[in-house]
Amino acid sequence: MDARSILIKAREGLPLTEAEIYWFAEGIAQGQVSDMQAGAFAMAVCTKGLSRDNRVHLTHGMLQTGEVLKWDLDGPVLDKHSTGGVGDAVSLLLAPALAVCGAYVPMISGRGLGHTGGTLDKLEAIPGYRTQVGVEELQELVADIGCAIVGASGDIAPADKRLYGVRDVTGTVESIDLITASILSKKLAAGLEALVLDVKVGSGAFMADSDDALALAQSLVETAQGAGCMCSALITDMSQPAAKAAGNALEVIEVMEALTGSSVGTSLHRLTVALGGEVLALGGLAADAADGEGRIAAALSSGQAAERFGEMVAALGGPADFVERWRDRLPAARVMMDVHPGEPGHVAAIDTRALGEAVVHLGGGRLVATDQLDPGVGLSDIAPIGARVDGERPLARIHAATEEAARAQAGRIRDAYVLAERAPDSPPLIHERIG
């Protein structure tokens, strides 16, 4: 078996054997496959596609190149993955709520990518929080607390790390087959029994088109199920931010408000409840999704999820009194500036990607991989679709390091909004369920 013969078959769109894909994935991880050959494989997959079976083989082959976690626990191992958006801090709410409901949640998360925020970046706004731990410590934390949100170690799916770097420079990042294998090889390496997927659609999503979002959701669900993991997906709205805030510390503030009961009923809260109900049902901890939603809502409203979140923060190096003193513990920007519309009206549409890009340019995200983040900057009080904005109600409030930085993004934020005389109907939070 050799790379050249596999590449010829992939170029012609011919099905590969399971052994060929496993060999190629191992070759990527071990360096026997060159960057040029990995790039040729990525381009062949991007142009010719993979069969359902070959997607499963590639996913399983890549996860097997690293460590696959094994568990001996008294409850199911569950998780959630989002394809990314603006103001999407669901993971911080959902992991502790699932733990309260009897699940174990080894949530391996990532950093911000482009205009979208990263779960690890949000957590690192909490002073002292460690996102990098070894596999043994992760297993101990999950067994003791029920949840841990951390970054992937180098031992998790090393083939994906190398292939992703090649995809980035060969223009093949958008391939649904490669996206599927990349996401699931890391998630399933955590030894999950069930997974719920949050596939975003709308102006702030990577898949802005509904057909593309549906295709990705179907691919992810079919592949996860083919790899032996119970899985379903919700296609959810990203035509506006998922929360009233975008920016690392600002989103943690909104999370803490939801955990402590002061923002029940918001889009962020409702999305958390819906995703949690879905995965509790998949994992056998609820009779159905509706029963699961009730359990997640109770975990949040009772304060138990807040307590579990505090335990996780303390165990990972954050303040032991974070739940009680979070207002004092989080960093804040030095400058705040409200952005008002030129004329009053109702919000008819939002270029949500532009809002995410404003946060990046304020310093809340990365323009290049080496950029250092300012955790306190971002946007708060973001006006949703249907809201009336005028000289008193702003489009958003900018939190910036300097007045110059705030002024530089004010125009971008103003241009991101389309206003109308009458308030339109709000878009549905959940568009469709797959699986």
Spatial contact of 132 and 153, defined as CB atoms under 8 Å apart: yes
- Does the annotation mark 321 as catalytic? no
- Does the annotation mark 119 as catalytic? yes
Which of the following is catalytic: 57, 80, 308, 399?
80
Torsion angle of the four alpha carbons 289, 294, 296, 297, in this order, in degrees rounded to the nearest 10? 140
Which of the following is catalytic: 122, 186, 295, 431?
186
User: Taking the CA atoms of the chain, what radius of gyration do you get in angstroms?
Assistant: 22
**Buried-state track 230-259, b at ≥16 Cβ within 10 A, e below 16:** bbbbbbbbbbbbbbbbbbbbbbbbbbbbbb
Q: Can you tell me the distance from the alpha carbon of 341 to that of 240, in angstroms, rounded to the nearest whole number?
A: 17
CA neighbours closer than 13 Å in the CB half-sphere of residue 332:
9
Which of the following is catalytic: 83, 116, 182, 272?
182
- Does the annotation mark 161 as catalytic? no
- Does the annotation mark 412 as catalytic? no
Q: Which two tokens stand for residue 219?
A: 């691919």
Which of the following is catalytic: 111, 187, 295, 308?
187
Q: Can you tell me the distance from the alpha carbon of 203 to that of 349, in angstroms, rounded to the nearest whole number?
A: 9
Which of the following is catalytic: 83, 116, 119, 175?
119
- Does the annotation mark 79 as catalytic? yes
CA neighbours closer than 13 Å in the CB half-sphere of residue 396:
38
Q: Can you tell me the distance from the alpha carbon of 279 to that of 263, in angstroms, rounded to the nearest whole number?
A: 23
Which of the following is catalytic: 57, 122, 167, 353?
167
Which of the following is catalytic: 81, 353, 399, 431?
81
Spatial contact of 339 and 380, defined as CB atoms under 8 Å apart: no
- Does the annotation mark 74 as catalytic? no
Packing angle, helices 304-315 and 248-259, rounded to 10: 140
Query: Comparing C-alpha atoms, which of 306, 333, 358, 366 is closest to residue 100?
Result: 306
Which of the following is catalytic: 55, 59, 65, 79?
79
DSSP string covering 187-225: HHTT--SEEEEEEEESTTSS--SHHHHHHHHHHHHHHHH
The type of residue at 166 is V
Which of the following is catalytic: 82, 223, 232, 380?
82
- Does the annotation mark 175 as catalytic? no
Q: Is 429 helix (H, G, I), strand (E, B) or coil?
A: coil
346 by Cβ neighbours in 10 Å (0-12 / 13-18 / 19+) ranks as middle
Which residues contact residue 369 at a Cβ distance below 8 angstroms, ignoring those fewer than 6 apart?
none
Query: Comparing C-alpha atoms, which of 302, 26, 54 is closest to residue 162?
Result: 26
CA torsion sign for 53, 54, 59, 61 is positive
Report the catalytic residues.
79-82, 119, 167, 182, 186-187
